[in-house]
Chain A
Amino acid sequence: MMPCFQSARTCRVVRAVLAVGVVAISACGTDNPVDVTPQPPKGIVVLDGFIQPGLTLLSDTGAQSARIIFGATTEFDAGGFSLVRDTVLSVSSRAAGDLLYVADIASRAVRRIQLPPASNPSRARLLVGSGGQSLIGVALRDSASVALVSVRGTAVPTITRIANAGTCPTDVFQFDNATWVVDANANCRGNYAAIGDVRLIRIPATGSTRDTLTIPGMRGSGAAAVVVGEVAYISGGGDANFSAFPYTLLASGRVAKVDLRNRRVLSQRSMPAMSYGAGVKLGGDGFLYASLYADLTTFKNRVIKLRADDLSIVTTTAEPWMTLLNTAGSEVACGSAVADALGRVHCLVNGAASATTLWVFDVSGREVRRASAGQGGVDLAIR
């Protein structure tokens, strides 16, 4: 259920229109995504995490953009967000007020929900609600718990917590009547140093015994999950010592494919040697796209394309990363990459004064579009 931020009357009208629309679409048989011919995106959502935090909304063509303001940098500091239909979820950490942001792209409405003090949220996901309520799961790193935020209209949300959800929960999702927590297993209350391997913790809704699935060798204080059916792709960015120069890489990032039904790790893919990070997104073309830094010296942005079935790297050169070229033939280093259903790779580059540019490359890695996308862009999603 999409949260409603308008007046009750407006909400009723919107819901009625949406209901009619859903019925009409179902009647046309276009609700089966498997049979749909790949379509260009409805739009691109860029999260501006710094300077003037908020969302920059772009369409698939043209230079026009619109903004949704989140607030000052003291009130928002997230590096990522989740997008489900028109709902954007994001959080600000303990250093920016422990807030949950719920934005409705269609109405441009933003709602801020206060999470418990010093909970240091990591990610928020839309879960399956009940009784007409939207349910949002938020991984709380400092309190080692998961907040379940129930939202109904403009009423004051209710927050319940699942305690003892690992050492440092960084992501949460639902599968098979259970809440699954990605535990980064790191010292998130302090310096975010890895304590052990990343884990998946299954917390059944029925209250029966919890299961913990360790992902061998995976480290990363920002571990996250992408869930596709009964499979979860877990990514850990690796571990490094940033407390002294020169920075020391302790472990590169990894991506793991996990069979949720049978609770086992199917396969893993290590990111290239010397690289750091592994921000994984599922492209509309069915491939996984991992954004990372080539090394800890230049911090050059790189993108790796992975096959979802066996996590093998898709590349046309000897290098593991994608070669993305501008119209002049020069390589473009960009981050937060993901492909649309047409296989076009969208990614972000922050230039002078952190001005953000959205770059779009065709399946061969050639530039097809370049558009201004706000300032301080840190993440993007395709609608």
Chain B
Amino acid sequence: MTHAVLHAVFIALHVMQVERATVCFADHYTTAPITGTLLVRVEDGQQQPRSLRAAGDCVNVPVGAWRVRRVGYRSTSITLRGGATDTVWFQPTTSAGVMPLTVLDTIQARAGRVPAAVARTVVTVSTSTARRAGAGTVSQLLEQLPYVSMRASRGETGLSLRGSRREQVVVTLDGLALNDPASGIADVADIPLATLSSATVALGADPVNGGSGAAGGVIALTRAAQRVMSAHLGAFGSRGGEAGWSVAGGPVVAHATVMYRTAINDYAFVNDAGASGRREREERVNNDETRAALSVGLTADRWQLFALASRADRGMVGPINVRAYDRDRARTHRVLVRGQAMLPRAQVTTGVRYFSLDYRDPARPASDARAESIASDLAVQGSAALSTRLPVTASWRAGAGADALRATGGISQSRTRAFVASQAILQRSSWRVEAGARADVIEGTAAVPSFTVAAERPVGAGFSLGARVAQAMRVPTLYDLYFSSPQRVTVRTLRPERVLADVDVSAHWKRATILGRAAIDASLVSRTTRDAIIWFPGNFGWSPANVGQEQLQGGELRAHLAAGWGELSAWSTVYDSQLITDALRIPTPYVARVAFGGSAFLRAGSLTGAVMSRVSGRRPFSAGPRNAAFELPAVALMDVSVSHPLPRSLQPKAVTTSVVWSISNVMNVEWQSVRGFPAARRSWMLSFLFQPTR
């Protein structure tokens, strides 16, 4: 016993004498810090058994040569010198450089580095930045992304990018698409913010990385093994909390998060759709929601596993003038399991997603319904340098999956699918050229090939010009297929929706100025979609059909300035997006011709202030020709937040506590996100964020 104690003291003294250095790990493209890195000591060319796993994104180790490995990333060697702090920028093993095909466990991200996409607008917002600006949910995180148009009616979220319909946006979590195979829509409301490190928006069709449905673009969520706890209290009965913790135990880093959130949402609104013709003040009923989620992640040297389960209970409130749904309820369950393993020259990813919806109508039990859908995916991916002469890196990916749906009324559907994709980037002199191809085979549909080509070239003084052409496809969802079945309306065979060309000509400017790092991105875009799958009333009910051609023309502009004092950002989009069929010209519902957004983060000492604003022009809400009577009015919204640490005297030991005061819709604007579903007016929230002191 005494000997053991002496031995421990000896080791401790020895360690104290050894020179040490701090090394941090981050993703090269998203800048998201990475946890779970394995460090193996290299001495005299021999790998010693001494190794350690970093539970956080930084680790303090003895100086010298180390080999660092992390599942999903290229292994590399580093040499640490005493007292230094280095960052290892990990390159994903399979990404050729555009959107990382696999993004892994990370902790808190630091935004500000634009991923190295070729001629493509890609912006990342970290959860830590979003939290300081008042975000407490993933939906609020996404609202802070530029170019993203969000709408919600009964608690669920719908996203639009580049004038797209909401089913034309793919949302991924660590590369795994979250879109429900039944509806085609990804609802991110149940994902705990503590699970994520960042959200990235990538505009434009993305057949290679997004797969089916990525016509408007991709929103990529990356996970985080954060050690964080948060709690909030707000208007309309809003309260909740989340906690995330990670530990390194033996060969694995384990991470878990829990989330609980509830809100009554009984806010006042003006009913302008009643019969009186007057604007009558009423209060929302049956608009409450309660969400709970649990996630667990395990990261080892050559594999990792992640599981997320969530449950949401919502009141299915009706439109402002309808009382028939005042007692209707919905319960949603979601389960997501994702696994990843490294092979000698490739890696395998697999995922299973399960969705269920129970709808209950106490007044009309015959209307009760239940639907379950499941999607499974398996993919193998790798990359290689093609030539020693040409600096070309190519990645490849092949996968297969299956979708199934079962619902009340004896509905049962399933289908299998497979794909193969490849992407290469050539970097020569000042040119960067990217080319990609993907072929999808969906059961019941012929193989659909899609291509993407992009090129970018600096033209001096921080300027670069780029051009990108991409295709995309979207296979009919299971609901599409079900409601188009002969039993439903008329015999309609649905073809995949096809983006023939999403053309993007862009100019980028980046420069260090006396005010800070400035960047401007401007794009002119045009998208042509054939066989758009749109739901219209048939002669017995609403049903989908391949309708006409969708055309979009427009432009996107974003300016960003970052410095030690904070960040300023502003963006604008101008879109003319419409469906053309025979004599009809139908603007895409809920896409404004003109939209603006802006954000300002100002730091003064430990105090951070944030102002977020969003302006949207008139938005059509029907699938009919443009008509002012069927447009929502233009709206300008502003959110303000201030975050600061708790006074030192109140800070718990070994924990940094931040307080965020936020007010949403400061101008108290009455507006509707979806026609008939009023959004809350001015509201407040008080959030506390607890993080262990490093």
Q: Chain A residues in contact with chain B, CB under 8 A?
A: 49-52, 69, 71-75, 94-100, 112-114, 117-118, 120, 187, 189-191, 193, 243-247, 293, 296-301, 335, 350-355, 372, 375-376
Contacts and interface: CB of A to CB of B under 8 A. Distances in A.
B622 A73 contact: yes
B486 interface: yes
B629 interface: yes
Contacts of B388: none
B481 interface: no
A72 B621 CA distance: 9
Contact of A112 (B277, B323, B629): B277
A293 B540 contact: yes
Nearest to A188: B364
B582 A71 contact: no
Contacts of A372: 583
Nearest to B485: A245
B581 interface: yes
Can you list the 9 inter-chain pairs with the closest CB atoms, starting with the nearest? A114-B275, A74-B319, A191-B366, A97-B321, A52-B624, A74-B676, A94-B324, A50-B537, A354-B536
Contact of A75 (B321, B365, B411, B487): B321
Which of A99, A298, A353 lies at the interface centre, i.e. has the most chain B CB atoms within 10 A of its CB?
A: A353
A117 B323 contact: yes
A114 B321 CA distance: 10
B545 interface: yes
A99 B319 CA distance: 14
Contacts of B581: 352-353, 355
A52 B627 contact: yes
Interface string B517-553: 0000000000000000010111110100101100000
Interface string B562-585: 000000000000000001011110
Interface string B251-282: 00000000000000000000001111100000
Which of B325, B486, B542, B676 lies at the interface centre, i.e. has the most chain A CB atoms within 10 A of its CB?
A: B676
Contacts of B584: 352-353, 355, 375
A74 B540 CA distance: 18
A50 B624 CA distance: 9
Contact of A51 (B411, B538, B548, B623): B623
Contact of A72 (B323, B364, B366, B675): B675
Contacts of A297: 486-487
A38 to B, nearest CB: 31
B537 A112 contact: no
Interface string B223-248: 00000000000000000000000000
A245 B582 CA distance: 34
Given A94-B323, A355-B583, 6 more contacts: A74-B321, A118-B324, A120-B324, A352-B548, A353-B547, A376-B536
Given A351-B582, A375-B624, A189 B363 contact: yes
A112 B367 contact: no
Given A51-B623, A301-B539, A245 B410 contact: yes
19 contacts: A51-B536, A51-B622, A52-B624, A74-B273, A94-B322, A97-B321, A117-B323, A193-B366, A293-B539, A298-B491, A350-B538, A352-B548, A352-B581, A353-B582, A354-B538, A354-B623, A355-B584, A372-B583, A375-B625
A112 B275 contact: yes
Contact of A244 (B410, B538, B676): B410
Given A52-B624, A72-B675, A191-B366, A97 B273 contact: yes
Interface string B299-334: 000000000000000000011111111000000000
Nearest to A113: B275
Interface residues of B, number: 52
Nearest to B322: A97
A50 B542 CA distance: 10
B479 interface: no
B273 A71 contact: yes
A330 to B, nearest CB: 16
A100 B275 CA distance: 8
A353 B630 contact: no
Nearest to A70: B629
A280 B364 CA distance: 29
B486 A97 contact: no
A21 B490 CA distance: 49
Contacts of A114: 274-276
A353 B277 CA distance: 31
A244 B536 CA distance: 22
Nearest to B542: A50
A190 B365 contact: yes
Contacts of B324: 94-95, 118, 120
Nearest to B580: A353
B448 interface: no
B489 interface: yes
Nearest to A349: B539
A51 B622 CA distance: 6
B250 interface: no
Nearest to B321: A97
B539 to A, nearest CB: 6
B537 A51 contact: yes
Contacts of A351: 582
Contacts of B273: 71-72, 74-75, 97
B409 interface: yes
Contacts of B582: 351-353, 355
B629 A69 contact: yes
B367 A190 contact: yes
B409 A376 contact: no
Interface string B144-163: 00000000000000000000
A117 to B, nearest CB: 5
A305 B265 CA distance: 55
Contacts of A376: 536-537, 624
B545 A352 contact: yes
Nearest to A54: B629
Contacts of A187: 366
Contacts of A190: 364-367
A71 B547 CA distance: 25
Contact of B409 (A71, A245, A352): A245
Contacts of A350: 537-539
A74 B537 contact: no
B548 A74 contact: no
Nearest to B540: A299
